[in-house]
Homo-oligomer: A and B are copies of this chain.
Amino acid sequence: MHKVVLIGAGRIGRIHAKNAAFNPRIELAGVVDAIDASAQSLAAEYACPVLSLDQAMDDPSVAGVIIASSTDTHLDYSVRAAATGKAIFCEKPIDQDLARARSAANVLSKAKLLLAFNRRFDPNFQALKARLDSGAIGTLETLQITSNDPSPPPPSYVAVSGGLFKDMAIHDFDMARWLLGEEAVEVYAAGSCLVDPEIGKLGDVDTARTVLKTASGRICVISNSRRSGFGYDQRIEAYASAGMVRADNVTESTVQVWSENGAAADRFQNFFLDRYAEAYRREMDHFADMLDGADASVGYADGVNALALAEAAAESVKTGAPVRI
């Protein structure tokens, strides 16, 4: 069992705490949080101590840290943990600022760092990737990534989120890179404020379409909205030379009702923690692999490159022109 400390006892931190605690290869050895009550409550739940950040970082018996604190701490905590040789499980994004994120390259590009893009661990998207990799439908040509939240966050959240591209589409940029197998060389994005005018007042968009193009001519479209109106809408269509593979949304059950209105399937899952529960488990299991010696399957460079695409998309919306990467 590898000792791991959780930094950040908020909503996502609690998910990681549970998955770490139930992982047979990980011992949840402590919880760190700036808000003491949060740390206490979570630590009590898993019968482990509350620690200060220094205690966690300085304890050589701690093999890994899970960084689930606020975004502005991700980079610093990662750098500090890297200096002690600990394995790092860092929530996305690596940072909101591309230049700052890049400034840590010397340290972090060599660190044992898992950048926690959870969708890479989703069984459905993994199954899609496996079909593509199998070659059964030929060579990938184009991607359609649909990624809509059920309903918009409050403007207070939007104000500090970094904007739609860094906050929400960052996942899709990572998925695009993962599936395209090739970096985008050009980014064009069209954005609108159609869902909530308050979001527009903050200088952000709530609806966007982003077109990525790679050197070999592959094209990817990312569709984002802060509000689907029907649930968590996360789908991918990948066209290849001999067909198409897609991963569809997840419904709450397999139940259908046939009535005079037609055939109605159950609701779509409405909450990312439900939709990605298994992804979070697999992600933590991959962190256990890393503690056992494996390399991270997604790391610092992926975080930086996705962030670069997010910045380019935001710039494209501002200028109205495509941006070369």
- Residues on A facing B (Cβ under 8 Å): 22, 123-124, 126-128, 131, 136-138, 141-142, 144, 146, 148, 186, 188, 190, 192-195, 207-209, 211, 213, 217-219, 221, 223, 225, 227-231, 233, 239-268, 320-322
A266 near B127 (CB under 8 angstroms)? Answer: yes
A136 to B257, CA, bound (A): 10
A211 near B213 (CB under 8 angstroms)? Answer: no
B258 near A230 (CB under 8 angstroms)? Answer: yes
A258 to B221, CA, bound (A): 19
Contact among B194, B264, B322 for A265, CB-based, below 8 A: B264
Contact among B188, B251, B321 for A263, CB-based, below 8 A: B251
Which residues of chain B come closer than 8 Å to A217, judged between CB atoms? 192-194, 207
Measured CB to CB, the closest approach of chain B to A300, in angstroms, equals 29
A225 near B265 (CB under 8 angstroms)? Answer: no
Measured CB to CB, the closest approach of chain B to A240, in angstroms, equals 7
A-B residue pairs in contact (CB < 8 Å), sample of 15 = A123-B252, A128-B255, A131-B257, A137-B259, A141-B194, A142-B207, A144-B146, A190-B213, A227-B241, A229-B244, A245-B256, A248-B254, A262-B268, A263-B268, A322-B322
A267 near B261 (CB under 8 angstroms)? Answer: yes
| Top 5 A-B pairs, shortest CB-CB distance | A192-B217, A243-B259, A127-B253, A248-B254, A264-B264
